[in-house]
A = this chain, B = another copy of it.
Amino acid sequence: MAPPVPSDPTTLLQIGEVAERVGLSLRTVRYYEEQGLLTPERRTTGGFRLFSVAQVDRLLVIKQMKSLGFTVQEMRALLDARDILRDTGSGTEARTAARAELAAYATRAAERLEQLRSKLRDAEGLAERLRDEAGMA
């Protein structure tokens, strides 16, 4: 029985499916490709982008970075480092550098998380204030 949501590595999805799974707009996915954050596995004869499940996963990481307010440039740097670590062919030197890079991003991510939490508290303040003001005479 075939899974309703294919997740085997050979399945290819077109951009609409991908966007919906990840929760990004078509425009945004195309934008990220244009910025070199990912490249579709291949294209149909007519030019339709086809993405692998691994690339959907990559987009999820991208979306997470977006949630943390990282810029495209930072995403690129992090993804590059990650690619190096995943490539079994990369040398020791490169791996060490990549690991350091990743660690640095982990730190920055933690900082951003704190900022996000602060924003959330801020926002909760407004929600409460509005409830009060709208409810009063």
Count of this chain's copies in the oligomeric assembly: 2
Q: What CA separation (Å) do A93 and B65 show in the bound complex?
A: 47
Residue of B nearest to A124 (CB): B113
Assembly CA distance A134 to B96 (angstroms): 10
Q: A99-B134, A134-B103 given as contacts; is B63 within 8 A of A122 (CB)?
A: yes
The answer to whether A126 and B82 have CB atoms under 8 Å apart is no
Is the beta-carbon distance between B113 and A130 smaller than 8 angstroms? Answer: no
Given A61-B129, A64-B129, decide whether A123 and B109 contact each other with a Cβ distance below 8 A: yes
Mask, A115-130, CB within 8 Å of B = 1, is 0110110111111011
Chain B, residue nearest A127 (CB): B109
| Chain A contacts to B: CB under 8 angstroms | 61, 63-65, 67-68, 82, 85, 99, 102-103, 105-106, 109-110, 112-113, 116-117, 119-120, 122-127, 129-131, 133-134
Given contact pairs A61-B129, A67-B122, A116-B123, enumerate 11 new A-B contacts (beta carbons under 8 Å). A63-B122, A67-B119, A67-B120, A68-B126, A105-B134, A106-B127, A109-B127, A110-B127, A112-B123, A113-B124, A120-B120
- 5 A-B pairs with CB atoms under 8 Å apart are A61-B129, A67-B123, A105-B130, A116-B120, A116-B123
